[in-house]
Amino acid sequence: MLPAGVPVSDVGVALLVQAAMTMPFVVPRGPELEPATWTAYGVSSLSVLPLVWRRYAPFAVLIAVLAAGGVYGLAVEGPGQPLPYAGLLAVYTVAALSPPAKRVACGLVLLTAVPVGVWFNTRSARELGFTAIVFVAAHAFGRLTDARRRATRVEAERAAARERSRIAREMHDILSHAVSLMIVQAEAGPVAVRAAPERAEAAFEAISETGRDAMTQLRAMLGLLRDDDVPQEDDDPRTPQPGLADLPALLDRVRSGGPAVVYETAGDLRPVPAATGTTVFRIVQEALTNTVRHAAARTVTVRVARDRDGLHVRVTDDGRGPRPATGPTGSGGPTGPGGHGLTGIRERAAAHGGTAAAGPGPDGHGFEVSVRLPLPAPTPVEATR
């Protein structure tokens, strides 16, 4: 039965070290040498046993290993070892897991223990140099392991931060778009009830459809945040993200309670990667949300074109144009240069190596969002289509 909290891997490493230290006891010895005894074997095993707890008290294990090795060299007569296996592993662990003070103490201990051990053994400069080199190498490998572990942790934290930022952008786009459309349609409802009841019914149906679509997308996004070990009966976090094929439905929802929307395409859009298609969808969604909320536009044109340079997305409206900067940060709102929506669009484009720009429309009126997204080179199969 393993000691409490000790990983099986640490026990396995200790057994490997014990096997290596056993070899000199089982190979035949010359007649001029004292026979190996069980006492010597037992004392040698005492230098291996502490390795089981090396992760929990690295420096204490190092002291125990060196002490057992000293007893073996001074008090019993046994075969020598090609390498101080247990001591090397203990030094490696101190270098990999201990704080700087313990590592300095480890170096001071070795500066004393290594020369003393060589003095009581062969007293040769060759052994002293060899022993010093292998212990320095063990310490260096330990420090490299610690550096690699720290780098992995930093990269994991950065990846988590990027994922949180991505999810925040997705939720912002979903909620902002849905709520903006619902507000516009709800405000138009009472007027339509008095003037054209049939239009009021269509507005309320659009509100319901927009809410359901937002709930579906939010459910998929929130599924990514749940624990994978918790089964969900009604949610599938692997629900496909919207893409280029979903743009017409998005534009229809905007038309139902907002400005007229013209959709134009150019080039072959079928082989666009799924991730790029999702980015285009979110960019158009955010641009339309800004138009509905701030532009007071009557018409908005969405154009998606593909050429040799990649995808070009342009959303242009005939509304009031960009608002002047009013805040302390120079932000004039979502349609201004520093709005959160435009920041999200730029971040999405940059994540694909693309660029985004926003400003007045081509004739100086209205507002335009222009995005360029590079695409990977087509495969031979795509190139023949």
Torsion of CA 28, 31, 33, 36, to 10 degrees: 40
CB atoms within 10 A of CB 200: 18
User: What share of the chain in percent tops pLDDT 70?
Assistant: 79
pLDDT reported for residue 377: 65
* 106 burial level (CB within 10 Å; 0-12, 13-18, 19+): buried
Q: Is the pLDDT of residue 187 over 60?
A: yes
**Segment among 185-199, 204-218, 257-271, 321-335 with least mean pLDDT:** 321-335
pLDDT band (50, 70, 90) for residue 225: low
pLDDT reported for residue 234: 45
pLDDT reported for residue 296: 83
Per-residue pLDDT tens over the stretch 32-87: 666 778 888 888 888 899 999 999 999 999 999 989 888 887 777 777 777 889 99
Q: What are phi and psi of 275, to 5 degrees?
A: -65, -40
* Amino acid at the residue 154: V
Q: What is the mean pLDDT of the chain?
A: 80
Strand locations in the chain, DSSP E? 260-266, 299-307, 310-317, 355-360, 367-373
Q: What are phi and psi of 55, to 5 degrees?
A: -75, -25
Three-state DSSP class for 160?
A: helix
Report the pLDDT averaged over residues 210-233.
62
Per-residue pLDDT tens over the stretch 321-380: 876 554 443 333 444 444 567 888 888 888 888 999 999 988 888 899 999 999 876 555
User: Which superfamily does CATH assign the domain made up of 158-226+237-383 to?
Assistant: Histidine kinase-like ATPase, C-terminal domain (3.30.565.10)
Are 185 and 206 in contact by the 8 Å Cβ rule? The answer is: yes
Report the pLDDT averaged over residues 219-241.
55
User: What share of the chain in percent tops pLDDT 90?
Assistant: 28
CA 337 to chain centre: 30
Per-residue pLDDT tens over the stretch 108-130: 999 988 888 888 777 788 888 99
CB atoms within 10 A of CB 204: 16
Q: Tell me the sheet residues that pair with 371.
A: 313, 356
CB atoms within 10 A of CB 29: 12
Prediction pTM value: 0.54
DSSP secondary structure, 313-366, as one string:
EEEEE-SS-PPPP-STTS--STTSTT-HHHHHHHHHHHHTT-EEEEEE-TTSSS
Q: Tell me the sheet residues that pair with 306.
A: 311
DSSP secondary structure, 246-290, as one string:
GHHHHHHHHHHHSSEEEEEEES--TT--HHHHHHHHHHHHHHHHH
Q: Is the pLDDT of residue 241 over 90?
A: no
pLDDT band (50, 70, 90) for residue 194: low
Instruction: Write down the domain spans for the chain.
Output: 8-123, 158-226+237-383
Three-state DSSP class for 379?
A: coil
Which range, 21-25, 217-221, 262-266, 295-299, is most confident? 262-266
